Amino acid sequence: MFHVLAICAGACAGALARWQLGLWLNTQGALLPWGTLAANLIGGYLIGLCLALFQALPQLDPVWRALLITGFLGALTTFSTFSAEVVGLLQQQRLSQALGLCALHVAGSLCMTWAGLHSLPWLWAGARQGV
C-alpha cells in the first residue's frame, strides 16, 4: 500500500510540473510546443540520474524508485502529448517540423538519459567538495 501512495504522490507532483512547463513554455504561435519537449528532456536526464543513483545505492528502499521513476517521472514525461503534437503538425502539412520534433524528442531524451547516467559521479564529487 505504501508503494501505491508513493506512486500517487510522485505522479501528482510530476503532472503538476508538466502542466506548469506547458503554461510557461507553450506560448501561442510558438514554432514548436517547447513545454512538452522540456518535460521529456528534463525527465530523460532525471531518469538517467535516478537509475545511476539506484545502481550506486542498491540498499535504498524500493519505494523511492516507485516515487521518483514510476510516479514523478512517469507523469512528468509524456509520450501521448508528444504523439498528439506530432500528428497535429502532420495534419497541418508541416512535415519538416513534425520530423524535427520527433528527432528532438527521441534523440534529445536518449542523450539526456545518457548524461544523467554519467553525471552522478561528477555531482557527488562536487557535493563532497562543497561546490
Per-residue pLDDT 10s for the chain (131 aa) are 899 999 999 999 999 999 999 999 988 777 788 999 999 999 999 999 999 999 999 999 999 999 999 999 999 998 999 999 999 999 999 999 999 999 999 999 999 999 999 999 888 877 777 65
User: And the C-alpha cell for 23?
Assistant: 503554461
The percentage of the chain sitting over the pLDDT mark of 70, rounded to a whole number, equals: 98
* Cα distances (angstroms) measured from residue 33 to each of 58, 83, 96, 115, 116: 37, 12, 15, 23, 23
Q: Cα separation of 67 and 78, whole Å?
A: 17
Q: What residues have CB less than 8 Å from 34, skipping those under 6 apart? A: 25, 26, 27
Reference 75, options 101, 113, 43, 106; nearest CA is: 43
In tens, the pLDDT along 15-47 reads: 999 999 999 998 877 778 899 999 999 999 999
